[in-house]
A and B are shown apart, each in its own frame.
Chain A
Amino acid sequence: MNEATNDTDPLLSVESVSKSYGDEQVLSDVSFEMDRSDVTVLMGPSGSGKSTMLRCVNRLTEVDSGEIRLGDMVVTDPSTNVDELRRSVGMVFQDINLFAHLTALLNVTLGLRKVRGMDAETARSLGVEHLERVGLGDQLDSYPGELSGGQKQRVGIARALAMEPELMLFDEPTSALDPELIGEVVEVMRDLAAGGTTMLVVTHEMGFAREAATDAIFLEDGRIVEDGPPEQLFENPQKDRTAQFLERITSMYDS
């Protein structure tokens, strides 16, 4: 955290964000920053507030206190236009949530046409381009019900990516997938990271975190327990809790 930063402002800054549902404190005093092309991994046991943190960034959830900035937009300012904000933030869901009545291509082009106002032809060529990028150029006209979980999630990534967001949010993108389908999704995410996409990722995929992440944050009970470069966090955790947690998921995922 004390690293010397460039003069340029961070792309995303999260400052002292707190959020509670009734008596339950989901996030307390969470702060972190991301520069362009950073890949930040959020880890932590279930219920630690990772997904809530993610949803605060595109305001699917409103914070109680604290401030989130994306570029020059103050996300947490109630007067900020949410639709405009969400144009700059892509999101990939654990449950994938493809539009069930639309083909892969139309899933990708709906936002292009109705949000970015493209004509059908331009949207189509951009949609095809993004589906090819995630290796699904041959499934343009397949409905979600005809795709495997891994293919669906890749369409989900293409759908978010096609909007050309400044920041991509991944909410446990592989947790709902069969183990043998995880690889294809992680591979796409790795490519994105290598290509300079700014990504905030909730995941327990240690392989991805180790290879692709620039930062890792360990959350528990809504607080940041520890954060830092992944090699430091994984190889030499400073807190017992972090070490315990990492040991558990490592033995679970590497088995």
Chain B
Amino acid sequence: MAGAERSSAEREDAVVEEWRVLSRLGTIAAVAFWGWLAVRWANNWLLPPGVGVDPNDSFIDPETVRPVSESLAFAVEFLPELADAAWLTIVLTVVGIALGFVIAVPLAVARVYGDSISSTVSLLYTELIRGTPLLAQLFVLYYALNLSQYFRGLPQDGFLPATAVYVALIGFTVNSAAYQGEYIRSALLSVEGDQLTAARAVGLSKLDGIRYVVLPQALRFAIPGWSNELVYLIKYSSLAAFITVPELFKVAQGIASENFAYTGVFTLVALMYLGLVVSASKGMSVVEDRVAIPGLGGGTDR
């Protein structure tokens, strides 16, 4: 009996130890990945030319990779370009999520608490956006409405290299707002109705009750769904390639077809997307823990 207990305790220790090693490896990988990206970006855009490292230096010697894979060793030389392109992928995702959130909150509040007009408008918007392909939406904005003509005056180099980037940002914002709105709506519905009654009884207006009592709880409930949306958007941002935005996928496609090096280049690109996605979901779970409130749903036990 005692022996069985000890062995199960030992097994638990082993699992904990294993987890600790994995988490340390994860941290090392994350620091290496983001460190590498940050150095590349700083080198290309922040440091004056001639200072810093050679813009074409990939930081990784192809010869060390060659024993693993010939095609990877070839693709490694294009890492600097891919790092620049990853910047745009991140911008599209982060700005799309952030601006989309700003629209999503009123959309969701209108659906749950609004009068029949505002909730119908919100419903129509949501169904229209969720019911049509993102790619079609981008095409409408870029080709049919030719929105980029309005952005000619804005900066078009360095961080934001084309007017199409602005169009893509609008597309992702509009699209993500509809999805985030749904996540927030279901989170609003999971806040107990009496919370708003209690807020009203204290003398808060309905809008203030929603703002100070319901939303702070609902947004915490929305985090898991929200991190799902973030992960989707990282990958969906590749659709911007089809309206000429030189983000990660577009650049990779160009390099691959020019050099006929699909395997190596797309393996690297897949790894970069994976790095972004894992970082995003890890980041969101850290946020979830940070804002967790004892006794309120959401957050993980620590």
Contacts and interface: CB of A to CB of B under 8 A. Distances in A.
B217 A100 contact: yes
For A58, A86, A101, A144, the residue with the greatest tally of chain B CB atoms inside 10 Å of its CB is: A101
Interface stretch (B2-10, B230-238, B293-301): B293-301
A82 B202 CA distance: 11
Nearest to B219: A101
Interface string A85-110: 01101110101011111000000001
A99 B213 contact: yes
B194 interface: yes
A223 interface: no
Contacts of A146: 294-295
A144 B295 contact: yes
Nearest to B216: A101
A217 B165 CA distance: 71
Interface residues of B, number: 22
Contacts of A159: 202
B202 A143 contact: no
Interface string B197-208: 111111111001
A212 interface: no
B96 to A, nearest CB: 28
Contacts, number: 76
A4 to B, nearest CB: 35
Contact of B194 (A97, A114, A144): A97
A100 B201 contact: no
A91 B294 contact: no
Contacts of A115: 202-204
Contacts of B212: 110, 114
For B201, B217, B295, the residue with the greatest tally of chain A CB atoms inside 10 Å of its CB is: B201
Interface string A144-184: 11100000000000011001000000000000000000000
B185 interface: no
A187 interface: no
Contacts of B201: 58, 60, 86, 89-91, 93, 160
Contact of A97 (B198, B204, B216, B294): B198
Contacts of A58: 201
A83 interface: yes
A229 interface: no
Contact of A60 (B197, B204, B293): B197
Interface of A: 58, 60, 82-84, 86-87, 89-91, 93, 95, 97-101, 110-111, 114-116, 143-146, 159-160, 163
- Please give me the 10 A-B residue pairs with the lowest Cβ-Cβ distance, nearest first: A145-B295, A97-B198, A111-B202, A115-B203, A91-B201, A86-B203, A87-B203, A145-B294, A97-B194, A143-B294
Interface of B: 192, 194-195, 197-205, 208, 212-213, 216-217, 220, 293-296
Given A97-B195, A115-B203, 16 more contacts: A58-B201, A60-B197, A82-B200, A89-B201, A93-B194, A97-B194, A97-B197, A99-B195, A100-B293, A100-B295, A101-B216, A101-B217, A110-B204, A114-B208, A145-B296, A146-B294
